[in-house]
Chain A
């Protein structure tokens, strides 16, 4: 029974994520129209064969913009998770492995940062660095470090007294080697589902920030930005908001199902 359910989550998640990733990859190289080309004749045009998602208030093709914007959103999320996970792994590994006063101080700072919801921390950094795609990646990346550091740290504490670590020590392996060659691979399974969840949170945070107008800046398309522009035309052109919103939901849904599926597989095995 459990086995069947786990594969459903995993399968649906993998299919959704696969579709989203393929579309965004295509959008990276090719879009049906130029995502920035304006055409006043097609202003807020409805759904048609030529424009499957209609056109926005400047007559730009929404499908092209969704493909392009979705790609931007995914890249920002990827960068965010990469920064957060890499720094988080290093910080968590050292504090968890060595413990002591460094750990104590570090965890206080971590707690302090953890107190900030990631979007708020993103806002702080954007107000310091200025808005724009790359600053959002840095801002959110830093905001994501504490959550990864926390997970890695507790896993390192759990693993550092295990027999295989002791035997590696006896064999004369250095601390760095033990941390990153012996313990880290054992932490990876736990980390992988947090990375997926972190990826989702990053997608949502980027969309939220761009929606607020402090994330990705025009002319770059982003799903959050499109939603905020679409809100003015909600009644006259509902599709303008619905399509980017639907893509956002499918992306998040795909990743969360995939994360769930991976978690269930691990527990099942």
Chain B
């Protein structure tokens, strides 16, 4: 419980720090939001009036407090470029990016755990070596390039899907998930290769420890030793890696969305960056950062559950 409270306090502190850093970064950039909204033709008086109305003349910390309070209430501000709230722009895009990241995560686990265990159990066999060489190559392929390869092979040559023919989840969930499958594979491949390698190394290291020999000598069968003893310990570094990978995947989906023409959070972020539409950029980045920090928090909790010794440190 004390561990939980400590981690929760850390979570809140990091959230505040991150949101303040992002807010401050966007506050110091040259360029006046009021001028951006009214255009360069606006009279100084009108700009000044809008500045006062937006509260831009207040000190940074006051503006941050106001922005943070609005943010917590779900008011992410108004886009400079399009006269609409940021929330209405990003709200229905969030499920798209989250589904994509979630699907890739499931794929990573489904691929890496069996491959890692299989290779570790048959370490140095021909199978293990072949898989590890393939693994090493897959790790070197950037996700967006595997996306391009998948588009070429499965989209253009075999016609498993039509590139660019995105189906919204409002129209059909099955079509939506079907379209996201290949992008998810593209994101998952390099991470799955890394996770499999990590799990393999970790299982091999655990296999040599005394408690495994004891477990055998007490008459356990190979499978029982593997699943009940070795795997639980070997998973610890893999869980850390997967937690970090999940955070990376949310960011990685920004690039993959572009490859497969998916109108998710990444698309909004990129258009807003080129439009210099800062309230949108700021909101999207804070949202992603919060998500990442929250995932790290969950990983810490999961850790504690896998290895209760961690709380003692």
Contact = CB atoms under 8 A, between A and B. Distances in A.
A108 B273 contact: no
Interface in A171-200: none
B111 interface: no
Contacts of A25: none
A234 to B, nearest CB: 5
A120 B156 CA distance: 30
What's the dominant secondary structure at chain A's contact region?
Answer: helix
Contacts of A109: 17, 21
A150 B78 CA distance: 37
B140 interface: yes
Contact of B144 (A115, A126, A211): A211
B230 to A, nearest CB: 21
A46 interface: no
Interface stretch (B35-43, B86-94, B249-257): B249-257
Contacts, number: 113
A235 B156 contact: yes
B145 interface: yes
B185 interface: no
Contacts of B142: 204, 207-208, 248-249, 252
Interface string B271-295: 0011010100100010011001100
A253 B139 CA distance: 8
A128 B25 contact: yes
A198 B273 CA distance: 26
B72 interface: no
A123 B280 CA distance: 13
A22 B26 CA distance: 42
Given A124-B25, A214-B273, A119 B255 contact: yes
A208 B144 contact: yes
B18 interface: yes
B258 interface: yes
B284 to A, nearest CB: 10
Interface of B: 10, 13-14, 17-18, 21-22, 25-26, 29, 124, 136-137, 139-142, 144-145, 148-149, 151-152, 156, 247-248, 250-252, 254-255, 258-259, 269-270, 273-274, 276, 278, 281, 285, 288-289, 292-293, 296
Interface of A: 1, 108-109, 111-113, 115-117, 119-120, 123-124, 126-128, 204, 207-208, 211-214, 227-228, 230-231, 234-235, 238, 241, 245, 248-250, 252-253, 256-257
12 contacts: A115-B293, A127-B276, A128-B25, A204-B142, A207-B144, A212-B255, A214-B273, A227-B148, A238-B152, A241-B152, A245-B145, A249-B141
